[in-house]
Amino acid sequence: MIQTYRLYSWADWFRIVLALSKIRISQMVAASTLVGYLLASEHLTWMMLIPTLGAFLLSCGSAALNQFQEWEYDREMKRTRLRPIPAEKISPLVGLGISLALMLSGALILLLGSGVPAMLLGVFNVFWYNAVYTPLKRVTPFAVAPGSLIGAIPPAIGWVAAGGSLLDPQIWVLASFFFIWQIPHFWLLMLNLSSDYERAGFPTLLDKFTPAQLARITFTWIVATVAASLMIPFYGLGNSLWLVLALVCFALWLVWSSRKLLSKDIESMSFRFAFISINIYMLLVMTAFTLDRLIFV
């Protein structure tokens, strides 16, 4: 039986592309690219928008490619079954075409506007997400560890686009912070959606640990995340007193709000509060570094 698809208006297509792009994640990628550029540059310029846009479009295309790769799994999960491909709003091949167009656009923008190193970093991030992490997470729940590399590369794209070198220790400490943050972020997402992942046949961390054990491990990673953020000013990235105080306050708030992960009643607890908190924390840290650069540039 041949599947038929209805004709869509431009507004419908826009919504479909947004859904394929996992727009919130792609916005975070763009923001971290911008932070990397601002911290490497000595002045503000409209040129910072080029790598930000390029990384954003690459992320959108990578997310769409992921949905093409996993649409059959998405159909089994409550959270993802209404995505365009499993919901049969578009065919898998149309989804693939959209993803390729977005990735090509992003790669060209990075190549022509930011140079070869920025483009190669962006393409490598797509490769790592779609060719390494995506198939690996169907094999082991520990795929989040190597998969977290995809969070460390966007600030490096911005860094090299602004003229920085990958050999600079500053970008390594900044990228390490984003890398470490990704691990509790991913784990908390899986904890919140473990039943969905199990329904689609993905291995989960609850196959290896009890909820209480996993909560304590995640709390340890959260502490490591805030420690990594507090290391960044020691490498000359944001030396103002107000930024240091802001980072300390954000760190104390995240650790305090996450203390529930150490509760004895963790078996009946939702992990949503911790997932929201760690995302808010990242937004606060990126905003603080951005404002610091805008004020003291």
**What angle is formed at CA 218 by the lines to CA 214 and CA 224, rounded to 5 degrees?**
150
Complete domains list, the chain, with CATH: 13-296 (1.10.600)
Mean pLDDT lowest among 54-58, 149-153, 266-270? 266-270
| Rounded CA separation 5/8 (Å) | 9
pLDDT at 252: 97
Can you give the pTM of this predicted structure?
A: 0.91
Q: What's the pLDDT tens digit per position in 75-88?
A: 988 888 999 999 99
In the chain, the N- to C-terminal Cα span, in Å, equals 62
Single-letter amino acid code for the residue at 6 = R
Q: What's the pLDDT tens digit per position in 188-200?
A: 887 777 778 778 7
What percent of the chain shows pLDDT beyond 70?
Answer: 95
Residues sharing a CB contact under 8 Å with residue 97, sequence separation 6 or more, in sequence order: none
pLDDT at 37: 96
Look at residue 1 and tell me whether its pLDDT is greater than 50: no
Look at the block and give the residue holding tokens 């980072």: 247
What's the chain's average pLDDT? Answer: 90
Mean pLDDT lowest among 40-49, 108-117, 186-195? 186-195
Confirm if 62 and 126 have CB atoms less than 8 A apart.
yes
Phi then psi for residue 76, to 5 deg, are -90, -10
Look at residue 111 and tell me whether its pLDDT is greater than 80: yes
Mean pLDDT lowest among 136-140, 188-192, 219-223, 285-289? 188-192
Q: What's the pLDDT tens digit per position in 90-99?
A: 999 999 999 9
Binning pLDDT at 50, 70 and 90, where does residue 296 land?
Answer: low
Q: What's the pLDDT tens digit per position in 256-285?
A: 999 888 877 766 566 788 889 999 999 999
Confirm if 27 and 52 have CB atoms less than 8 A apart.
no
Q: What are the Cα distances from residue 197, in Å, to 101, 106, 138, 157, 221?
A: 29, 30, 10, 32, 22
Return the closest-CA partner of residue 52 out of 130, 126, 109: 109
Residue 201, by phi and psi: left (phi above 0), alpha (psi -120 to 50) or beta?
left
At 71 the three-state DSSP class reads helix
Look at residue 237 and tell me whether its pLDDT is greater than 50: yes
